[in-house]
Amino acid sequence: MEIALLGFGVVGSGAAEVLEENRELIRRRLGEEINVQYILDLREFPNHPLGNRVVHDIAPILSDPEVRIVAEMMGGSHPAYEFTKAALEAGKSVVTSNKEVVAAFGDELLQIAAEHGVSYLFEASVGGGIPILRPLRDDLASNEILSVSGILNGTTNFILTKMKRENTAFADALKEAQALGYAEANPTADVEGIDAARKIVILAAISFGKLLSPEKIPVQGISGITPEQTALCAELGFSVKLIGHTEKQGEKILALVAPHAVPETSPICHVEGVNNGILVNANIVGKTFFYGPGAGKLPTASAVVGDILSIFDGGIRLPKWEKAGATDYADPQARVCRRIFCLAGCSKCAEKSKPFFGYETYLAKDGKFVFVSRPMTEKEMANALKECGKELLWTLPVLD
């Protein structure tokens, strides 16, 4: 059974390592061996045992009928999209870790795969090594998915955890995440929430059948989070986490990425380091939680190779996605949630502000007071702030 690897960076070389490390186990499971026949990369790898498989052109891969599966791990949209499309049109199944391509072109690529009777699988594109997409689509198929929320970016969770536990400076924690192979080539995509936006869009598409555009949903990263915010939230019993959230609101879909305060009662609060944690709320089963390593060479490669094996092992049901239209997007300002507020003022101000925000207790220190409000929309929040007349220092939505 022959395959081709597109991209031999962190994930690509990890996939080769998994295939080698578990060669015997895979042979026993499938009854045959998987051979990496081609590696497409711009570089040469003369010292790697598979160095003689390196090609710099996709053409020999596309024209080789022995190659049934192409694993795309190049990253970036182009030429990964064009190569994926060409491979599917050539009758080859494609597996990928490339969330950028799935989030932008997943609807079209799934359609092309269906037309050519092949598979397009992307378990590794969300949650690294955590099985989430197939359980969501297959094992929860008897359910209506109500919401999916979680930590979808390992790099930012690694940074937030280091800042909280070891008081590490943001830049040092980021450097460490890069050295460990967690971060994107351009880590702005991690830090500013863009990577998590691609992943929540994929989760929304699996859950609701519509592919939203990551550019059209509200996205906020962690660059504005301060150690003081983290400490005050901790005093109130919350952890600050970068959360991707999607839910159905009638016929519309709400999807967003933003830092949230997560209560200690939620399993998401306790997800630390490079791990991801995804909470699915479904109408029959209730809440299920998926946890594990969300980035890194071998966890991501584990999911890529899992997809390769499932194709060799039998049929895969392909989801049908439609591109979301303007009317499919819910208004994020209408979202109702509790919020942590930090306002300028003393205890007296805090007492007077209670009726506007509906809280029982508050923390007051250093000329500011902090509290958890009742559930409110952004409009209600703006009105409450206007009526109480206190200066807003910062606010974070609570993930309940």
Q: Is 294 in the site for ligand HSE (CB under 6 A)?
A: yes
| In the complex, residue closest to ligand HSE by CB | 155
Cβ nearer to ligand HSE, comparing 244 with 345: 244
Cβ nearer to ligand HSE, comparing 96 with 353: 96
Cis peptide bond prior to 227, omega within 30° of 0 = no
Residue 362 bridge partners (DSSP): 371
Known catalytic residue at 323? no
Per DSSP, the residues of 182-240 read: -S-SSTHHHHTTHHHHHHHHHHHHHHHSEE--GGGS-B--STT--HHHHHHHHHTTEEE
Q: Which stretch binds ligand HSE (CB under 6 A): 49-57, 60-68, 177-185, 320-328?
A: 177-185
Closest CA to 117 of 144, 149, 159, 88: 88
Of 189-248, binders to ligand HSE (CB under 6 A) are: 190, 195
Smallest distance, ligand HSE to C-beta of residue 347, A: 41
| 8 Å CB contact between 370 and 342 | yes
Number of residues that bind ligand HSE (CB under 6 A): 11
The single residue among 37, 98, 119, 155 that binds ligand HSE, judged by CB under 6 A, is 155
Cβ nearer to ligand HSE, comparing 202 with 253: 202
Cβ nearer to ligand HSE, comparing 273 with 332: 273
CA 252 – CA 329 distance, rounded (Å): 6
Per DSSP, the residues of 137-190 read: IIITTTS-EEEEEEE--HHHHHHHHHHHHH---HHHHHHHHHHTT-S-SSTHHH
Q: Is 102 in the site for ligand HSE (CB under 6 A)?
A: no
Catalytic residue among 99, 199, 241, 368: 199
Smallest distance, ligand HSE to C-beta of residue 237, A: 26
Q: Which stretch binds ligand HSE (CB under 6 A): 183-191, 208-216, 243-251, 388-396?
A: 183-191
CA 74 – CA 34 distance, rounded (Å): 20
Smallest distance, ligand HSE to C-beta of residue 218, A: 20
Residue 145 bridge partners (DSSP): 282
The single residue among 38, 81, 182, 290 that binds ligand HSE, judged by CB under 6 A, is 182
Q: Is 154 in the site for ligand HSE (CB under 6 A)?
A: yes
Q: What is the dihedral of CA 35, 38, 44, 45, to 10 degrees?
A: 0
Cβ nearer to ligand HSE, comparing 183 with 298: 183
Amino acid identity, position 59: A
| 8 Å CB contact between 303 and 131 | yes
User: In the complex, which residues of this chain contact ligand HSE (CB under 6 A)?
Assistant: 128, 153-155, 182-184, 190, 195, 294-295
Catalytic (active-site) positions: 199
